[in-house]
Amino acid sequence: MVKHNDQTGNDGRDSSGFSPCTVNQQFPHLLLETSLTVRAFVAGSLNWLFVGTEAGTQRDRRTQTKIFDEIFMLCSELVNVERGTTLDSKDELANDQGIFLHVLLTIIKCSPVCEKHCLLGLFQMVADKEITLELVKKMLLQACSHLGYADVEQYLASHLPYLVYNWLHDKMVGSPLADFPYQLLGYTEAAQFTRAYPNLVVSTLLATKLDIGQVRAVLTLAKLDVHSSLLSALPDILVHILPPFAAKSGRDKGEATLSSSQQALTKQYQEANKCFSALKQGLSDQEINERVCDILGVIVVKVLSCLQVKGHTNTDVSHSMVYPESNPPCYSEDKIVLTLNYLARNFNDDSGGTEFSLVGLLAKIPNGLHEVFLSLSSQLWKAHHAHEGSRCLQMVGIFVRLVLKELRPGGGGRRGSAETAATVIVRDILNRLLVILRGR
């Protein structure tokens, strides 16, 4: 019953003794009705809880997340296997599982913000054996068909960094990799999954567990060489380490003012330092430095790919866009720029001691700048959702601004090669972006 504030007493009830409420608050509770028809109707109609007041818009991310949490708590009781002891209750449990999957499918279709949360909750249910793999696979096939993915593995792979990170992190699910429901991606054992995604598994294990011993154990079980695996996964590992290091360095030198509190920055730095210490138990400082210099462009792209867009931008294309949480790790634009500058200062392989900017370092590498732009363009081309494309454009924008700083009129000397290369690359990327955007 909806009432104005001046009609309610101090205890939140109106003059008739009813507590005021909204349709939004009560509608999800109909999922617990005894009528299967009612529950099925509600499960398929939850999408309107996530949309905004204007056509084609969505509620803000915090509101959508809160709504999802409430719905998921209600639905969790529906798939409690302890209720399925008699024949009738087994049939009822099957119906409840169907409703639960219908709810998640509806949310996945309508809310990119809650899509990852749905999948993580689904993975937990599968691991706890509260819902069968066959039913889940059927639901995921419907999600793939609606969202335009070729198959379930391609769809889940796009969210896999989020799923694996939150699965392993002690503050989230905190379960071992062996319990991860890799069967949904078509694998029959954890070792097979590790061999398919070695860089992801190694980097996420090291970042969440901060223990090289667990990494060695998983790689040994998968029959992978530890040393070569660490070298291969180094770009994915460093995106967990470099941004906290850069943020602390920038704060200590007074070069930047970040929105994060001093306490938060200190905690992030401590975790990154532990991760780096664990990494150095498998690779020497020299190996890390040489590897970074060899694949500098790859690491630059990895850092840019960690961009998290928090709110609306000033561009028309994303003015009404709500950005979901990026795959971890994710950082603000300010922290990413700090990281790229930190990378240039600390991994300069010039023997003469000359300091180069990041663009200058990349210009020294054959096709260095071109490969960065090519990789960013590829990500933009493959972007599956509008918010992904918008985020990729902002990643390109960050790097283009760094390149434009090198374009000084009449510049010469050491920076001449960087400026010449940068001019050619900027022209190329503008043409490439026009082709991509026209194609979309």
The predicted-structure confidence for 38-90, as pLDDT tens digits, reads as follows 999 999 999 989 986 666 678 889 999 999 999 999 888 777 655 544 445 77
Angle 418-379-52 from CA coordinates, rounded to 5°? 125
Given a cut of 50, is residue 2 above it in pLDDT?
A: no
Residue-level pLDDT at 403: 85
Query: Looking at residue 57, what is its pLDDT?
Result: 74
Higher pLDDT, 253 or 308: 308
Instruction: Name residue 51's beta-bridge partners.
Output: 58
Over the stretch 388-402, which tens digit does the pLDDT of each residue have?
Answer: 988 998 999 999 888
CA distances from 180 to 28, 135, 336, 393 (A): 29, 17, 31, 33
219 by Cβ neighbours in 10 Å (0-12 / 13-18 / 19+) ranks as buried
Report the pLDDT averaged over residues 89-110: 89
Q: pLDDT averaged over the chain?
A: 84
The segment with the largest mean pLDDT, out of 106-110, 252-256, 360-364, is 106-110
Identify the band that residue 4 occupies on the pLDDT scale cut at 50, 70 and 90. Answer: very low
Cα distance between residue 55 and residue 53, in whole Å: 7
Which of 7-16, 111-120, 361-370 shows the lowest per-residue confidence on average (mean pLDDT)?
7-16
Give 349's pLDDT tier (boundaries 50, 70, 90): low
Alpha carbon distance 137, 219 (integer Å): 28
Residue 1 pLDDT more than 50? no
Write down the pLDDT at residue 34.
86
CA distances from 14 to 7, 23, 266, 434 (A): 5, 17, 49, 59
245 by Cβ neighbours in 10 Å (0-12 / 13-18 / 19+) ranks as buried
Give me the pLDDT at residue 318, please.
40
pLDDT higher than threshold 90 for residue 203: yes
Kindly report the number of other CB atoms within 10 A of residue 401's CB atom: 10
Span 263-288, pLDDT tens digits: 888 899 999 999 999 999 999 999 99
**Could you give phi then psi for residue 222, rounded to 5 degrees?**
-85, 0
Q: Is the pLDDT of residue 19 over 60?
A: no
pTM of the model: 0.87
What does the pLDDT read at residue 182?
Answer: 95
CA–CA separation, 341 and 357 (whole Å): 7
Q: Quick check: 318 and 57 in contact, CB under 8 A?
A: no
- Tens digits of per-residue pLDDT, 167-180? 999 888 999 999 99
pLDDT at 296 over 90: yes
Tokens 């929105």 sit on residue: 259
Q: Is the pLDDT of residue 115 over 80?
A: yes
CB-CB neighbours of 100 under 10 Å: 27
Q: Is the pLDDT of residue 320 over 80?
A: no
Task: Look at residue 152 in the predicted model and tell me its pLDDT.
Answer: 94
User: In which region does residue 353 sit, left (phi positive, over 0), alpha (psi from -120 to 50) or beta (all else)?
Assistant: left
Residue 1 CB coordination number (10 Å) = 11
d(CA 304, CA 392): 9
The 10s digit of each residue's pLDDT in 127-155 is 887 788 889 999 999 999 999 999 999 99
pLDDT of residue 288: 95
**32, pLDDT greater than 60:** yes
